[in-house]
Amino acid sequence: MNVITTEQLLQKLDAGEEISIIDVRESEEVANGMIPGAKHIALGQIESSMEQLDKSVPHYIVCKAGGRSAMACEILEENGYDVTNIAGGMMDWNGEVQF
């Protein structure tokens, strides 16, 4: 499984890279802030919602600390998606958040 730190992701965003970020936390967690531009798909909805994701682009998966995003990465990888787990999740995120 590919892994990236929150600092590495922030550097990519600061450099202006177009990045697909999927936040797999629950709605009440997302209400406390998400990485700007992230798409919310709760972990329990990943399998039924994956057709919304473009298989031709890499996706970066985030949760609170990295565990649920790792599970989402496994599911998506098994279905042919290029995914990277964001280690440390939102607990380590030092960039902007949107509400």
What is the C-alpha separation between 8 and 5, in angstroms, rounded? 5
Q: Tell me, yes or no, if 73 is annotated catalytic.
A: no
Per annotation, catalytic residue among 34, 46, 63, 73: 63
Rounded to whole angstroms, the Cα distance separating 54 from 92 reads 27
Q: Which of 62, 66, 73 is nearest to 33 (CA)?
A: 62
Q: Which residues belong to the active site?
A: 63
